[in-house]
């Protein structure tokens, strides 16, 4: 990686417990709520971020989305700005162009259209479920939400790196974050690394992922573990379902998961149907993700 944070500050690869960012551009990675969920019992940082996000989403859904207080909800969300300081996302020149009010409107309307959020169910009070189930909120937007809401927590982690590595090129920056105790946005000053006059905030490597289409993976999980099992257990298989099988040379018929997936997969906006029709599948998928979708492999970059 050209001109990375570690290279600039002379940090040895063996000492890096943060995601090493390029300083002059962005890298296509994201803060992943599934990885936060998966590590919250082992890593205090993840627990702190998880609890803050639950508090934020509970406040948003309960007091703005469910009662459809649109203008107030958009105002509440308008503090979500493009977090250029972490150098994550799709922008190749680190010039985030998202307008806060436009993003706030999009997020509010996306949640308002979601059946779970509109009914006030607790499911959408967890960030990983919002990423999985809410049409219009993808990895980039969720990553931005997490950083904005928990900016103070990430700033404290960055300060830990500063102290550990003896980094001297720092400056006091004003940062905004969500204060769960007051349920308001708050500003404080934090000592952070500076590069070309701009602040840098670092993210623990354990909660960073590459591009992942979690809705497609949940579709596959349900196809493999629920729909195919249901078909196999039916006393009579329909002609349509027969096409999901393959006949082996010895005459045995096996069901092909890829065919099941192609036949039954749902777009993100309708994936809630699987959550309702297959109770327990969402929790099982979260556990499956924990075991099968680790943090990003740096060799892939």
DSSP letters for the chain: -TTBHHHHHT--GGG--B---BSSS-BS-EE-HHHHHHHTTT-HHHHHHHHHHHHHHHHHIIIIITTT-HHHHHHHHTT----GGG-BSS-TTS-----HHHHHHHHHHHHHHSHHHHHT-GGGGSHHHHHHH-TT--HHHHHHHHHHHTHHHHHHHHHHHHHHHT---EEEEEEEEEETTTTEEEEEEEEEEEETTEE----BGGGEE----HHHHHHHHHIIIIIHHHHHT-SS--HHHHTTEEE-TTS-EEE-HHHHHHHH---GGGTHHHHHHSTTHHHHHHHHHHHH--S--GGG-
Quick one: pLDDT at residue 94? 43
Backbone angles phi, psi at 188, to 5 degrees: -140, 165
**What are the tens digits of pLDDT across the range 38-48?**
999 999 999 99
Pairing, β 184-195 against β 245-247: unpaired
The answer to whether residue 297 scores a pLDDT higher than 70 is no
Pairing, β 208-209 against β 30-31: antiparallel
Please give the model's pTM, rounded to 2 decimal places.
0.93
* 266 and 277 Cβ atoms separated by less than 8 Å: no
Quick one: pLDDT at residue 90? 75
Name, in order, each residue with C-beta under 8 angstroms of 229's C-beta and a sequence gap of 6 or more: none
Nearest to residue 76, comparing CAs of 92, 63, 93?
63
* Count of beta carbons in the 10 Å neighbourhood of residue 3: 12
The answer to whether residue 140 scores a pLDDT higher than 80 is yes
Rounded-to-integer distance, Cα 202 and Cα 191, Å: 12
In which band, very low, low, confident or very high, does the pLDDT at 95 lie, cut at 50, 70 and 90? very low
Pairing, β 245-247 against β 208-209: unpaired
Considering the chain, what percentage of its residues have pLDDT values greater than 90?
86
Q: Report residue 180 as tokens.
A: 């769960």
Quick one: pLDDT at residue 1? 63
CA angle at 116 for the pair 115 and 120, rounded to the nearest 5°: 115
The answer to whether residue 212 scores a pLDDT higher than 90 is no
Mean pLDDT, to the nearest integer, of 196-219? Answer: 95
Mean pLDDT, to the nearest integer, of 41-63? Answer: 97
Quick one: pLDDT at residue 17? 94
Residue that the structure tokens 């096409």 belong to: 243
Across the chain, mean pLDDT equals 93
Quick one: pLDDT at residue 100? 78
């Amino acid at each position: 990686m050209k001109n990375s944070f570690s290279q600039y500050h002379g940090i040895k690869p063996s000492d890096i417990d943060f995601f090493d960012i390029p300083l002059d551009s962005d890298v296509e990675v994201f803060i992943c709520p599934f990885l936060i969920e998966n590590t919250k019992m082992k890593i205090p940082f993840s627990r702190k971020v998880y609890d803050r996000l639950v508090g934020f989403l509970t406040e948003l859904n309960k007091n703005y989305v469910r009662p459809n207080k649109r203008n107030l909800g958009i105002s509440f969300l308008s503090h979500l700005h493009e977090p250029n300081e972490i150098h994550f996302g799709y922008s190749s020149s680190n010039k985030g162009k998202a307008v806060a009010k436009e993003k706030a409107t999009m997020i509010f309307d996306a949640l308002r259209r979601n059946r779970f959020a509109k009914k006030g169910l607790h499911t959408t009070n967890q960030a990983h479920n919002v990423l999985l189930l809410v049409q219009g909120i993808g990895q980039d937007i969720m990553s931005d939400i997490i950083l904005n809401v928990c900016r103070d927590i990430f700033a404290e982690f960055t300060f830990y790196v500063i102290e550990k590595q003896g980094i001297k090129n720092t400056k006091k920056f004003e940062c905004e974050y969500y204060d769960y105790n007051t349920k308001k946005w708050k500003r404080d000053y934090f000592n952070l690394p500076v590069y070309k006059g701009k602040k840098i905030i670092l993210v623990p490597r354990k909660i960073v992922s590459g591009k992942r289409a979690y809705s497609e993976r949940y579709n596959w999980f349900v196809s493999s573990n629920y729909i195919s099992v249901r078909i196999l257990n039916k006393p009579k298989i329909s002609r349509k379902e027969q096409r999901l099988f393959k006949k082996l040379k010895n005459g045995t018929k096996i069901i092909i998961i890829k065919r099941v997936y192609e036949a039954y997969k749902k777009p993100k906006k309708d994936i809630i149907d699987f959550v309702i029709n297959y109770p327990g599948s969402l929790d099982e998928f979260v556990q499956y993700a924990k075991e099968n979708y680790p943090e990003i492999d740096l060799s892939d970059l």
